[in-house]
């Protein structure tokens, strides 16, 4: 499945912080065919560092999408049956307007003049895209991690627009620990002199800071078990310690590789803005209980967590489930056994496939 990147421009978007952005570009991809009644559309929501290229082989880069093992003909999100849409989030750096985009008012990249955005801003922009497609109700909204947070926001902000939601490995609001890891990443970027208060687009990007931020991120995405299995204390290309500060251990090599690779595809300012949006996210908006946040939601939910995910632990998914039960909402929940930590939602696909396929099929049936 060779896929093309698409883009659409909207005149403006009003933001939670009172500002508005004009214009706003949205990069998206689609897979499968929209049926004549437009009832088979599924919106896939990407995680923090993802992009619109969720599935298939990119026409431009030749690379598979980030959830290609879940989206495609006969896969969990079966493109023989459903029309799947994925767009790059607001504030991103992969085609949708973000801090690295050119501000038409100045002719220069927004950099830190980009307004601080929220997850609900991201979702409002996605809704503009769905309106543009002429889709009245999405059969499902689904994603892992921050993608799951967006799925929850969809179900709460636009209850009459979603038939079902599949939030995976996520939370209704960040804990102190989750905010703390994000803050370490932000500080690593801002401590890099090349960051230059965000004005680096005509110079060198803050590659060292961004790489360190990514290294921390990767640690939180794995588990003690998966790191032991993958690296243990194995040395990298040597028999003995080097007695210096070059790479000794495999795990060091892996993190350095991941860090430097990330720098080539991600914008440091986007890192700051998106992590801030995640930290601000609170499904209750700081008012009332979680159950009251779901008051008008009519969606059917499939909530999935992973046993070894310590970044978004199962208790956070169980909080979602409990609140939905309090509202007597239709909710299925399972904690899948996995060693892969938070990465499991991208890696442990076999387990998820039957769940998602069965859930979507029965949801689709109910709408026909």
Residue 84 Cβ, how far from other proteins at the closest point, in Å? 20
- The answer to the question of residue 349 lying near other proteins (CB under 8 A) is no
d(CA 276, CA 86) in angstroms, rounded, equals 22
> Is there a cis peptide before residue 131, judged by omega within 30 degrees of 0?
no
Contact 345, 311 (CB under 8 A): no
Least Å distance, CB 66 to other proteins, is: 24
d(CA 352, CA 227) in angstroms, rounded, equals 22
- Phi, psi for 3 (deg, rounded to 5): -120, 150
Q: Which is nearer to other proteins, 15 or 336 (CB)?
A: 336
Are the C-beta atoms of 140 and 363 separated by less than 8 Å? yes
Stretch of 3-11, 209-217, 249-257, 318-326 contacting other proteins, by CB under 8 A: 318-326
Q: Which is nearer to other proteins, 57 or 355 (CB)?
A: 355
DSSP conformation letters of 196-263:
GGG--TTS---HHHHHHHHHHHHHHHS-HHHHHHHTTT-BSS-SS--SSSS--BHHHHHHHHHHHHHH
Among the options 49, 218, 342, 348, which is catalytic?
A: 342
Which of 150, 333, 347, 349 binds other proteins (CB under 8 A)? It is 333
Q: Least distance to other proteins from the beta carbon of 354, Å?
A: 4
Candidates 14-22, 97-105, 182-190, 347-355: pick the segment binding other proteins (CB under 8 A).
347-355
How far CA 203 is from CA of 194, 267, 286, in Å, comes to 8, 13, 40
Active site residue 145: yes
Q: Which is nearer to other proteins, 128 or 291 (CB)?
A: 291
25 makes contact with other proteins (CB under 8 A) = no
Active site residue 203: no
Q: Is residue 298 involved in binding other proteins (CB under 8 A)?
A: no
241 φ, ψ (degrees, to nearest 5):
-60, 145
Decide: is 325 part of the binding site for other proteins (CB under 8 A). Answer: yes
357 binds other proteins (CB under 8 A): yes
Interface region with other proteins, contact rule CB under 8 A, candidates 110-118, 143-151, 168-176, 333-341: 333-341
Closer residue to other proteins in complex, CB, 97/223: 223
Q: How many residues bind to other proteins according to rule CB under 8 A?
A: 26
Assess 59 for contact with other proteins (CB under 8 A): no
Q: How far is CA 93 from CA 100, 102, 367, in A?
A: 6, 11, 36
Segment lying near other proteins (by CB under 8 A), choices 24-32, 107-115, 213-221, 328-336: 328-336
DSSP string, 164-208: EEEEES--SB--HHHHHHHHHHHHHHHHSGGGGGG--TTS---HH
Residue written as token pair 């500002």:
19
Contact between 193 and other proteins per CB under 8 A: no
- Contact residues: other proteins, CB under 8 A: 300, 302-303, 321-322, 325-328, 330-337, 351, 354-355, 357-359, 361-362, 365
Which residue numbers are catalytic?
Answer: 145, 309, 342
């Amino acid at each position: 499945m060779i896929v093309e990147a698409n883009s659409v421009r909207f005149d403006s978007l009003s933001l939670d912080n009172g500002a508005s952005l004009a214009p706003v570009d949205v990069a998206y991809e689609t897979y499968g065919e929209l049926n004549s009644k437009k009832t088979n559309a599924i919106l896939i929501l990407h995680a923090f560092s993802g992009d619109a290229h969720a599935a298939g082989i990119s026409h431009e880069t030749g690379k598979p999408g980030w959830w290609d093992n879940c989206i495609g003909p006969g896969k969990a999100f079966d493109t023989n049956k459903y029309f799947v849409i994925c767009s790059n989030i607001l504030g991103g750096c992969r085609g949708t307007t973000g801090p690295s985009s050119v501000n038409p008012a100045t002719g220069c990249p927004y950099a830190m003049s980009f307004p601080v955005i929220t997850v609900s801003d991201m979702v409002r922009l996605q809704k503009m895209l769905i309106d543009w497609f002429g889709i009245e109700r999405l059969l499902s909204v689904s994603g892992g991690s921050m993608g799951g947070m967006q799925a929850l926001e969809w179900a709460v902000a636009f209850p009459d627009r979603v038939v079902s939601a599949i939030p995976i490995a996520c939370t209704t609001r960040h804990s102190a620990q989750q905010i703390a890891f994000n803050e370490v990443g932000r500080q690593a970027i801002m401590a890099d002199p090349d960051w230059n208060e965000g004005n680096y687009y005509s110079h060198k990007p803050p590659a060292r800071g961004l790489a360190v931020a990514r290294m921390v991120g990767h640690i939180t995405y794995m588990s003690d078990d998966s790191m032991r299995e993958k690296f243990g204390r194995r040395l990298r290309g040597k028999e003995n310690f080097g007695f210096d500060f070059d790479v000794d251990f495999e795990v060091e090599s892996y993190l350095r590789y991941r860090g430097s690779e990330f720098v080539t595809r991600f914008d440091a300012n986007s890192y700051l803005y998106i992590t801030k949006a995640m930290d601000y996210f609170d499904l209750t908006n700081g008012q009332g209980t979680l159950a009251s946040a779901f008051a008008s939601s009519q969606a059917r939910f499939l909530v999935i967590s992973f046993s070894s995910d310590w970044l978004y632990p199962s208790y956070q998914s169980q909080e979602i489930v409990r609140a939905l039960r309090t509202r007597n909402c239709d909710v299925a929940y399972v904690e899948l056994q996995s060693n892969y930590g938070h990465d499991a939602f991208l890696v442990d696909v076999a387990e998820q496939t039957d769940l998602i396929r069965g859930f979507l099929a029965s949801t689709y049936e109910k709408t026909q």
